[in-house]
Structure 1
Amino acid sequence: MSKLFGYILSPIFYILFGLFLCIFHPIQWLSFKLLGYKAHKISVDVLNFFLTYSQLSLFNSISFKNDYNLPTDRPIIFAANHQSMYDIPSLIWFLRKYSAKFISKIELTKGIPSISINLRLGGGANINRKDNKQAISEIIKLGRRMKENNWSTVIFPEGTRAKDGKVKTFQFGGIATILKVVPNALVVPVAIENSWKIVRFGMYPLTTGNALKWTVLKPIEPEGKTANEITLEAENEIRKVLGQELEQNIVSGAE
């Protein structure tokens, strides 16, 4: 039934989603050029509010839970599992208080309304996955901006989307690189549930009636722990929420 309704409702969702991207593209540009970074950030936050709640057109529910009083005067590394592209707008919106940035593929900085301009102007790291030296350099630069501005960063340590919702082994390279630059950054796991179900049949039809959830978990203090230990702890806390088997060790440091 979810698939059947998806055939009907997916075009409506795509029209809304695409419309918001096109509307906010010039708004972002004007905000940045006329009023600077802060105005641009507000425009991005508002855009991602609309992108997040576009899911209601598919009768997907949105739930965000954060029981922790996270600091705003200290950089944070949010480590989340990754299920679909629809994880990202909600993370930007719900974590807007913490100025969360992303590590993105450099290919996305061109050709996509609103998204590309935000990647170029928003302060995140745009990396070339085929050029390890460039990727590490960009992540280090991001770490410096985090340190200077008390920004936060969202990292998907799996390195790719889990299309079946099963958490892949977390890689500790990204967290390790940022912690070298910002050793006092708080590491906060975020569990994402059910967004993979939206695209279980691909781009069309999208499925309907999913309970989409984002849950902020207990922060991890990095002091006295290796990046490997921190990453494993974050992964297992997320696995607990998702009811998946715990990981015993990390076998790779690749991002």
Structure 2
Amino acid sequence: MSKFFGYILSPIFYIFFGLSLCIFHPIQWICIKLFGYKAHKVSVDALNFFLTYCQIFLVNTISFKNDFDLPTDRPIIFAANHQSMYDIPSLIWFLRKHHAKFISKIELTKGIPSISINLRVGGGANIDRKDNKQAISEIIKLGRRMKDNNWSTVIFPEGTRAKDGRLKTFQFGGIATLLKVVPNALVVPVAIENSWKIVRFGMFPLTTGNALRWTVLKPIEPGIKTPNDITLEVETEIRKVLGQSITD
């Protein structure tokens, strides 16, 4: 039934999702050109509110749980599992007070309404996956911006989306590189559930009636822990929420 209703509701979802991107594209341009970063961020937050709650057109529910008083006066590395592109708008919206930035493929900085302009001017890192030197350089620059502005970064240590919801082994490189630049950053795991189900049949039809959940888990103080130990701890805690063991 979820697939059946997806055929009916997916076009409606795409219309409103696409309208949001198109409407906020010129708004972002005006904000950044005339009023600077703060105004641009407000526009990006508003955009991602609408992108997040477009899920109502698919009868998908949105739940964000955070039982921790996370600081806003120090950088944070949010480390999350990755299930679909719909993970990202909700992370931007729900973590908005932490100025969460992303590490994105440089190809995305062109041709996509709203998204491309935000990637170019929003302060994240746009990396060329074929150029390791460039990628590391961009992540280091991002780390410096985190340090200077008390911004945060969301990373996906799996490196790619888990299209069937099964967690892939986390890689420690991203956390290690950022911690070299921002050693005082707090590492915060975030467990994402069920967004992979939206696209289980691809881009069309999208599925309906999913309970989408984002859960902030206990923060990790890096201290004397190695990046590898931190990454393993993040993966272990997320696996507990997903009900998946390392041997699954």
When normalised by structure 1's length, the TM-score is 0.96
Q: How does 1:143-222 map to 2 (within 5 A)?
A: 143-222=143-222
Q: Is the 8 A contact 1:240 1:246 kept in 2?
A: no
Superposition pairs of residues 1-255 of structure 1, within 5 angstroms: 1-246=1-246
Deviation per residue, 1:186-231 (Å, 9 max, x gap):
0000000000000000000000000000000000000010000000
RMSD (CA atoms): 0.9
Q: Identify the residue that residue 252 of structure 1 maps to in structure 2.
A: none
Cα deviation, 1:14-33, whole Å, max 9, x if unaligned, reads 00000000000000000011
- Equivalenced residues, count: 248
Give distance in 1, aligned partners of 2:169 and 2:29. Answer: 38
Q: Secondary structure at the match of 2:138?
A: helix
SS at match of 1:85: coil
SS of the residue aligned with 1:64? Answer: strand
Unaligned 5+ residue runs, structure 2? Answer: none
Equivalent residue letter for 2:246? L
CA deviation after TM superposition for structure 1 residue 246, in Å: 3.3
Structure 1, unaligned stretches of length 5 or more?
248-255
Secondary structure of the residue aligned to 2:161 is coil
Distance in 1 of aligned mates of 2:46 and 2:217: 25
Post-superposition CA distance 1:167-200 (Å, at most 9, x none): 1000000000000000010000000000000000
- Aligned twin of 1:253: none
* Segments ≥4 residues shifted beyond 4 Å: none
CA distance in 1, matches of 2:237, 2:167: 11
